[in-house]
Structure 1
Amino acid sequence: MNEKNTAETNPGLSKLTLWVMTVATGLVVANLYYSQPLLDDIARTFRVSNGSAGYIAMLTQIGYATGMLFLIPLGDMLKRKKLIMVDFALIIASLLLTAFAKSFLVLMMASFLIGFTSIIPQLIIPMAAHLSKPEERGKTVGQVMSGLLIGILLSRTISGYVGAHYGWQVMFMIAAGMMLLLWVIIYFLFPEIEPQYKGNYANLMRSLITLIKTEPLLRLASIRGFLCYACFGAFWTTLIFLLRQPQFNMGSQAAGLFGLVGAFGALGAVFMGKISDKGNPYQVTTFSVLLIVVSYIVFFVSAKSLAGLITGVILLDLGVQATHISNQTMIFTLSAEARNRLNTVYMVSYFMGGATGTFLASRAWNGFEWKGVTIIGLALAVAASLVHLFYRKTVQLQMK
C-alpha cells in the first residue's frame, strides 16, 4: 500500500511524548470497562436482573461509538490538544455523575456519557501515527495500543478489587481523580497539531461516507473489527455471571483478576505492530482471527474449568488485539489528512460491535447461560473469518 500525501510536516515524536500518550490512552480507556466486573454488585444495589445490569456495559459502548462518530472527526478540523483538554472536563463530570447516581435510570444515562466523552484515546492514536516516522508507524501505533489494551484489561482487575473492598461507587470517584491528574500532565507535555482540514463540520461529516465508499480496506477493517470486538464484549460482559455460579463461587475481584491473564495478550501488541511493518499484514491477521475462533471453542468446553477459561482468555485477547493493531496500522496508511476520520469510521464500527456482542451475550445468558454465550461468540468469530477471506484479493491488489 502506498501512503497518500506523505509530504507532511509535524514537530516529531519524542520518547517522553510517546510514553505519555501510551499511559494516557490506557488510563482514559479504562473508564469504559470499570463497570464490567461490578455488574453483579450494581444489579444488587438497584435490585435489577443481571441481564438488565448488562445494559450498563452496552450503553457505555454505544456512548463511545456515538462520541467517536460526532467528536473524533473534529480532530481533523480543530486543534487536537485543545479538543482533548475540553473533553477531559466532560469525562470527569460523567464519572462523578455515575458515582453519585441515585437511580438505575440515572446510572444508565451516566454510563452512556462516560462512553461518549472517553474518546480521547482515538484522538491520541492518530496523533501518534501523524508524529511518527512512516517506517515506524506500526511500531508506534503498537506501543500506544499496548497502553490502551493493558488499560482495558487491568481496569477490570482494579475495579474488581475496589468494588469488593470499598463498593462499586468508589471506583468511579477514584477514576475522576485520575482524570484530573492526567489533565494536568497532558496540558504541560502534549504538543499541539494544527488541523489540515479547512471545510465546515457538515462537509467533514459527509466526507465519512465518501471514505467508506472509496476505501475498500477501510470497509474490511471496519467489518472485521466489528465482529472481533463483538466476540470480546460477549465474553467479558458475561464472565462475572459465570464465575458467580456454584462451580466457581467467585466474585468481582476474581473476575477482575482475569484482566491480568488477558494482559499477556496486550503485551504482544508492540510485537504485532512490528510484524505489520515488516511482514505480510494479511497473513498475520489470518492467524489472529483464527485465534478468536479457537478461543470460543475452548470456552464452550470450559463452563466448569478454570484452567480452560484462562487458556481461552489468553487466546481471545491476543487474537482480538492483534487484529485491532493490524486494522489500525492498515487504515492509517490510506490518507494523512483524514486519519481522524478514517479512525472514526473504524472505531465506531468497532465499538458498535462491542455493544452488539454485549447485548447478544446478555440476552443469551438469560435464556441459555454460558452455552448460549459461547455459541454466539463462536458464530461471530466464524463470521469474522469469512469476511477476512472474502477480502483477500482486494488486500493483495492494494498491497502491490
Structure 2
Amino acid sequence: MKTLLAAICAVAVATVYAAQPVLAPMGTDLQVPTDALGWLVSAGQLGYLVGLVLLVPLGDRFDRRCLIALHLGLVAVGMLAVALAPGAGVAFAGLALTGIFAVVVQTTVAYAAAVSEPGERGRNLGFVTSGVVVGILGSRLLAGVLADVWGWRSIYVVLAALSLVLGVAALRLLPTDVRPPSRRYADLVGGIARLLTEPAFLSRGAIAFFLFASFGTLWSGMALPLSDAPWKLTETQIGLFGLAGLTGALGAVHAGRWADGGQANRATGLALLALIASWALIAQLPWSLALLIVGIVVLDFAVQAVHVSNQHTLTTLHPDRVSTTIGGYMIFYSLGSAVGAATTTVVFSTSGWTGSAILGAGFAAASLVAWALGIPAVRRAQRRELAPVRASR
C-alpha cells in the first residue's frame, strides 16, 4: 500500500513540475517571453494553492480513497489540455487546473498519516513523501528524455495516462477510509483559518514558505544557465541533474525515524544549516558542474528532512484533523514554490546565476530564522498536547 501511495504522490506532483527542464522549448512554442517563463511553473503552483484551501479539507469528511481516484482523473484532464494547447492561454489554464487537483498529493499523505500507528507515522510519512521528491526531481529526467525524442507535449500525454492508471489502482487496491461523523464543509475550510492563529503552526508554515522558495529558485532557474554557454546542455542532459537531487532527497527518508524518536526540531535546524551551505556550492554552476551536483545533493537532502519533520510535528499536534492541517501547511509550500519559480527567472535575466544563488541562499537563511523564532511556540504546543495523556496515567 505504501508503494502505491508513494507512486500517486510522485505522478501527481510531477504534473506541476514537469515544465521546469523544458521551459525554453515550451516557451518558444507557446510564445512566452523569457522573463515570464517562470509562470509556466507558477501557474500550476497557484492552482495548487486554491486546491489546498478548497479541496484538501474534504479528506476530513469523505472517504479519502474516492477523493484520490476522482482528483487523479481530473489531473489527467488538465494534462491533456496542456498537451493539446494551441497557445499560452490554454496552456496556462490547463496547468492551473492540473495544479488545483494535484493536491491529491496532500490527500494521499493525510491518508497515510491517518492509517499509521503513532510509533510508525514518521517512517510512513517519510516513505510516502519520498514519492513527492521522486515526482519533482524524477519528472526532470523523464521530461528531458521525452522532450528530446517526441517534443515537450509528449510529457503531458504520458502523465495524463499515468494519472488515470493510478486512479483506477487506488479504487481497486486501497482500503476504504472510514471517516468520523460528517462535519460541515464550511467548518473544515474555516479550520485552516483557525490554524493560522496558532503560533506553532505559523512557525512551521513560515519555515515551509522560505524552504520551498529556496528549492524553487534552484529547480525552476537552473535550466536557463545550463542550456546557455558555456555548457549548452540538452533537455535530457539537464534532466539528469534530477538524479543528483533524488540521491539527496531519498537519503533523507530517515528523517521520519528521527521524528519518531523525538528529534524533529533538532533535525530541522541542522538541515536548514546544510541548506544554506549548499548554495555556496550551487553558485559555482558557471564554472563547475561537479560542485553543482554536490550542492544539489545537499540541498535536496535538507529540504526533504525539514519537510518530513514539519509534517510529523503538525500531524502529531492535530491528529483529529490531519487533512486540514496538512492542507493548511502546504499553502505555505505552494506560495513559497511559486515565489521561488517566478523570482528566479526575473533575477537571472538581470543578474545572472550569481543573483539567483544569492536569492536562494537568502530564502534558506530566512527559513532558519523562522525555525529559531518558532522553537518556543512549538514546545508550548507539544506540552499542551501531552498534558491530557500524562493526566490520564
- Equivalent in the alignment of 1:206: 190
Native 8 Å contact 1:222 1:350 kept in 2? yes
- Equivalent in the alignment of 1:388: 371
- Equivalent in the alignment of 2:150: 166
- Equivalent in the alignment of 1:12: none
Match runs of 1:120-269 below 5 Å: 120-196=104-180, 198-213=182-197, 215-269=198-252
- Equivalent in the alignment of 1:3: none
| CA offset digits 1:44-71 (Å, max 9, x no partner) | 2123322222210011111112111110
Which of the residues 84, 93, 96 maps onto 1:109? 93
Match runs of 1:1-400 below 5 Å: 17-196=1-180, 198-213=182-197, 215-400=198-383
Shift of the alpha carbon at 1:197?
Answer: 5.5
Shift of the alpha carbon at 1:292?
Answer: 1.2
Shift of the alpha carbon at 1:319?
Answer: 0.8
**Structure 1 unaligned blocks of 5 or more:** 1-16
Native 8 Å contact 1:36 1:237 kept in 2? yes
Native 8 Å contact 1:197 1:337 kept in 2? no
- Equivalent in the alignment of 1:14: none
CA distance in 1, matches of 2:33, 2:88: 12
CA distance in 2, matches of 1:345, 1:295: 28
Q: Which amino acid aligns with 2:85?
A: A
| CA offset digits 1:13-52 (Å, max 9, x no partner) | xxxx122112222122211111111101112212332222
Shift of the alpha carbon at 1:192?
Answer: 1.6
Q: Give the 3-state SS of the residue equivalent to 2:183 in structure 1.
A: coil
CA distance in 2, matches of 1:320, 1:93: 30
CA distance in 1, matches of 2:107, 2:368: 29
Q: Give the 3-state SS of the residue equivalent to 2:38 in structure 1.
A: helix
Q: Which amino acid aligns with 1:104?
A: A
TM-score, normalising length from structure 2?
0.94
CA distance in 2, matches of 1:302, 1:121: 32
| CA offset digits 1:150-209 (Å, max 9, x no partner) | 121111100011011110001111111111211221111011212226332222211211
| CA offset digits 1:231-287 (Å, max 9, x no partner) | 011111111101012111112112210111101122123211111111421111111
Aligned residues: 383
- Equivalent in the alignment of 1:4: none
Q: Which amino acid aligns with 2:265?
A: Y
CA distance in 2, matches of 1:263, 1:172: 21
| CA offset digits 1:215-241 (Å, max 9, x no partner) | 332111111001000001111111110
Q: Which amino acid aligns with 2:24?
A: D
Q: Which amino acid aligns with 2:223?
A: I
More divergent stretch after superposition (41-50 vs 175-184): 41-50
Native 8 Å contact 1:76 1:340 kept in 2? yes
Q: Which amino acid aligns with 2:177?
A: I
List structure 1 runs of 4+ shifted beyond 6 angstroms.
Answer: none
CA distance in 1, matches of 2:235, 2:33: 16
Q: Give the 3-state SS of the residue equivalent to 2:228 in structure 1.
A: coil
Q: Percent identity?
A: 30
CA distance in 1, matches of 2:181, 2:18: 35
CA distance in 1, matches of 2:356, 2:181: 44
Q: Which amino acid aligns with 2:208?
A: G
**Structure 2 unaligned blocks of 5 or more:** 384-393
TM-score, normalising length from structure 1?
0.93
- Equivalent in the alignment of 2:389: none
More divergent stretch after superposition (154-163 vs 79-88): 79-88
Native 8 Å contact 1:76 1:197 kept in 2? no
Native 8 Å contact 1:196 1:337 kept in 2? no
Shift of the alpha carbon at 1:300?
Answer: 2.3
Q: Give the 3-state SS of the residue equivalent to 2:182 in structure 1.
A: coil
Q: Give the 3-state SS of the residue equivalent to 1:101 in structure 2.
A: coil
Native 8 Å contact 1:240 1:251 kept in 2? no
| CA offset digits 1:345-386 (Å, max 9, x no partner) | 100111110001111112101211211111111111111111
